[in-house]
Amino acid sequence: MAIRKAMVAGNWKMNGSLELVKQMSDAINDVKSQEMDIVLFPPFPLVPAMVASGVSTGAQTVSENTPGAFTGEVDAQLIKDLGATYVLVGHSERRSIYNESNATVAEKFARAQQVGLTPILCVGESESEQENGQTEQVVAAQIDAVIEKLGVAALKDSVIAYEPVWAIGTGKTASPEQAQTVHKFIRDKIASLDSNLAQGLTILYGGSVNEKNSELLFAQTDIDGGLIGGASLKAESFTAICNSAKGTV
């Protein structure tokens, strides 16, 4: 079995400040470990400050286009030039609020990789899709859009984050067993195309992860860490989650 490095990523969404960058970077620098990667995703204007703080930094989204007349969009090369190394693509809020399709997400994934950014591909089902037993179908389609555009090999230089939409910001969390089942499905699906790639692929869980439930979630065989929302805005909570991820894989 390939050794996978644990990762904890914090998505600040439309929150944060220069003061919070300082608070969080100070806290993270105290818990950094060779055993894991810690990445923060602040709003675009805070990316340079986060990079300067020494914390691995990502952007919350990216344009699928090359530079041009796209008011309000941000190009992947600029994100890279500012020192960020990761970018989220396909977060459920981008899919639901901004109507990003699986095809659009695949284009964003491709553009990120084109300039050397590491995309974190977010996948997950809605509450109604879960209740109708469509979880695997929905997640598979979201991953297949990338594979069909770029080939399975493109997943080698990426991370996948499983985030059940019904658990994001709701306080509801998939049980460790529920989350493990979907993570295993994702890994097995990719293994059917490339077993070595699948064993080395980092797959995160996101959805109301906090310092109380992170240890049990991260103890699951196929869960390699977490994509954290609200708890990534609180130094004490986020560092506790980071500590629970050390040595999980």
Annotation-wise, does 213 bind a ligand?
Answer: no
User: What Rg, from alpha-carbon coordinates, does the chain have?
Assistant: 17
Domains and CATH numbers, the chain: 6-245 (3.20.20.70)
Sequential DSSP letters for 89-138:
ES-HHHHHHS---HHHHHHHHHHHHHTT-EEEEEE---HHHHHTT-HHHH
Task: Quote the CA–CA distance of 213 and 176 in Å, as a whole number.
Answer: 9
Annotation-wise, does 208 bind a ligand?
Answer: yes
Tens-place pLDDT, residues 51-103: 999 999 999 999 999 999 999 999 999 999 999 999 999 999 999 999 999 99
Annotation-wise, does 12 bind a ligand?
Answer: yes
Closest CA to 95 of 159, 160, 163: 163
247 has pLDDT over 80: no
Mean predicted lDDT score pLDDT of the chain: 94
151 has pLDDT over 60: yes
Task: Quote the CA–CA distance of 26 and 19 in Å, as a whole number.
Answer: 11
Annotation-wise, does 230 bind a ligand?
Answer: yes
Bridge-partner residues for 223, per DSSP? none
Tens-place pLDDT, residues 172-214: 778 899 999 999 999 999 999 999 999 999 999 998 899 999 9
Tens-place pLDDT, residues 9-45: 999 999 999 999 999 999 998 887 777 999 999 999 9
Catalytic residue set:
91, 163
Annotation-wise, does 229 bind a ligand?
Answer: yes
